[in-house]
Amino acid sequence: MITRYADPRVDAISCDEAKVKRWQDSELAVIEARVNLNLAPRNVFETTKAILEANPCDIGWWLRREKETQHDLTAFIDERLRYIPPEMQAEWHKDMTSYDTEDAAFALALLQFAAIVSEDLEKLIGLMKGFALRERYTLMLERTHGQWAKLRSFGGRILTWLAPLLFAHEQLKRAAANCRQSRISGAIGNYGGGLSPEIEFEALRILGLTPFYGATQILPRIVQAPLAQSVRLVGEALGQIAVDFRLGARSGKSLWHEPFAKEQKGSSAMPHKKNTIGTEQIDGMLDLLSGSEASVLRSIQTWEARAIEQSCVERVAWPDLFHEILRMISVMHRVLGGMVIYRDHMLQEIQDSRETYASDEEKNFLALECGKRGIEFETAYRIVQLASFCAFKPTEYWAKVRETRPSFDLREADELLQESYNAPFKQSLGIKEIIKKGKLFRVEGLKATEKDVASWNVFLSEIFSGADTRARWDALFNPSYLLKGEGFLFSKILG
């Protein structure tokens, strides 16, 4: 991964020094296991361990030796042998094949990567939980299909970001647990003449691992694949938040914005710009991450007891996957931690929605009245639909603009723009009043005839003749009514 996006903790795990250290730990664990099983003298283990730990692997020597053997693990074996007394050399890498060393070591690396992701995720989740609680009673409009839908609290919106992330985190932890499985079972996985299930079990136990039975020369990569898949899921959960963030930050009545530094520039050309560059990067990073995941999944299979296709994928795609997800988490943490919230716009947007935010409850209210009067259920739907279309009817001036296409040249556009600055806005009644007062009128584009409309207005006048009905109607629009179920979700999700 390029420096710009690299997480130093991932590099610290995937660097050569750390890698050969893990190899050494694997090798020593096998010797220690033999000692514990009375298959080798304890001093061989103790001396070898002491010498090797006192003399770290010489990376330069090792890489030069690899050029000759064209095999990195045998080069490592040779490098280490330089320090081991001849009489103890036979215990070194005894009966082992390269992947007896490497697979145990690689499992350790994956566990370390996963632990870092988990740690950063927990911090982000903590931040989001506090955030949700703080905005527990801030009102906003929720959208479906990009259209204004219903009222919710901003805190409640954050819960919907949080829940998928919690789910993905759960998958990650499960998948990481799989990665505790590894193998030290010889060149084709059946222990051959020298290893044994007992040595394997004990050596892995020393390393904090556990055997996977049925491996070949390598652990079947399918065992680790769910970890990559779960990182993808974490990425998707973050990507979803990023997209929602970008949608909410769009100019107009933007609901929030990314933090913007005092000397920041949004654009070299347009000084007024404050762009959502963080969340956009999260989306781009997900494009990278899904490519890395695809590479890991494509390399699950091998031929027979193994070939080495998966090696380069593991050297590149696995660390990249972790660089990418950690970058996504860190940018998201920065964005959510410093985001500017426009609660004024949230409220203004509710006003702008002309009370359509309760159209579901309105429809059900009217449906009950229909039921009482033997009017078909469907009518309630059609009345509310018509009322909402009425509520958004433009004034005459703007209706004309809507239909006008300047058709000659750009000067016509100049004039229209100039003139429009003086055009009056006047909002018609909202849906709440249109229905309560029986002020429906026919609109193009719906099937309702003049006669339908007239009869519906009569029907509405009847319903709303009573003060009690009007009061019940008005109560529909209260946040405290519409959001009464949210408290339960807060307690369930925030725990």
Which positions from 164 through 193 interact with its own copies, judged by CB under 8 A? 164, 166-168, 171, 174, 185-193
**Stretch of 38-46, 54-62, 111-119, 410-418 lying at the interface with its own copies (CB under 8 A):** 410-418
Site map for its own copies, 418-437, x if CB under 8 A? --xx---------x------
**Candidate residues 38, 54, 60, 405; the one interacting with its own copies per rule CB under 8 A:** 405
**Candidate residues 9, 152, 432, 436; the one interacting with its own copies per rule CB under 8 A:** 152
Taking the complex as a whole, the smallest distance from the CB of residue 54 to its own copies amounts, in Å, to 21
State yes or no: residue 87 binds its own copies (CB under 8 A). Answer: yes
Cα–Cα distance measured from residue 320 to residue 6, given in angstroms and rounded to the nearest whole number: 8
Taking the complex as a whole, the smallest distance from the CB of residue 126 to its own copies amounts, in Å, to 16
- Record the tokens describing residue 217, joined without a space: 């020369």
Nearer to its own copies, 115 or 163 (CB): 163
Taking the complex as a whole, the smallest distance from the CB of residue 213 to its own copies amounts, in Å, to 4
- Residues 279 to 338 in contact with its own copies, rule: CB under 8 A: 280-281, 283-285, 287-288, 290-295, 297-313, 315-317, 320
Taking the complex as a whole, the smallest distance from the CB of residue 176 to its own copies amounts, in Å, to 14
- Residues 2 to 31 in contact with its own copies, rule: CB under 8 A: 2, 4-5
Q: Are 236 and 286 in contact (CB under 8 A)?
A: yes
Taking the complex as a whole, the smallest distance from the CB of residue 132 to its own copies amounts, in Å, to 10
**Candidate residues 173, 180, 273, 470; the one interacting with its own copies per rule CB under 8 A:** 273
Q: Are 330 and 262 in contact (CB under 8 A)?
A: no
Taking the complex as a whole, the smallest distance from the CB of residue 286 to its own copies amounts, in Å, to 8
- Record the tokens describing residue 360, joined without a space: 């579901």
- Residues 217 to 256 in contact with its own copies, rule: CB under 8 A: 217, 220, 222-223, 225-226, 229, 232-233, 236-237, 239-240, 243-244, 246-247, 249-253
Burial track 140-157 (b if 16+ CB lie within 10 A, e otherwise)? bbeeeeeebbbbbbbbbb
Cα atoms found within 13 Å of the Cα of residue 408, Cβ hemisphere only: 5
- Residues 204 to 223 in contact with its own copies, rule: CB under 8 A: 212-217, 220, 222-223
Nearer to its own copies, 162 or 206 (CB): 162
**Candidate residues 60, 145, 424, 451; the one interacting with its own copies per rule CB under 8 A:** 145
Taking the complex as a whole, the smallest distance from the CB of residue 423 to its own copies amounts, in Å, to 9
State yes or no: residue 48 binds its own copies (CB under 8 A). Answer: no
Nearer to its own copies, 201 or 464 (CB): 201
**Candidate residues 54, 60, 269, 468; the one interacting with its own copies per rule CB under 8 A:** 269
Taking the complex as a whole, the smallest distance from the CB of residue 465 to its own copies amounts, in Å, to 21
Residue 122's alpha-carbon distances to 24, 126, 170, 219, in angstroms, are: 32, 6, 11, 30
- Residues 361 to 390 in contact with its own copies, rule: CB under 8 A: 361-364, 367-368, 370-371, 374, 376-378, 381-382, 384-385, 388-389
State yes or no: residue 70 binds its own copies (CB under 8 A). Answer: yes
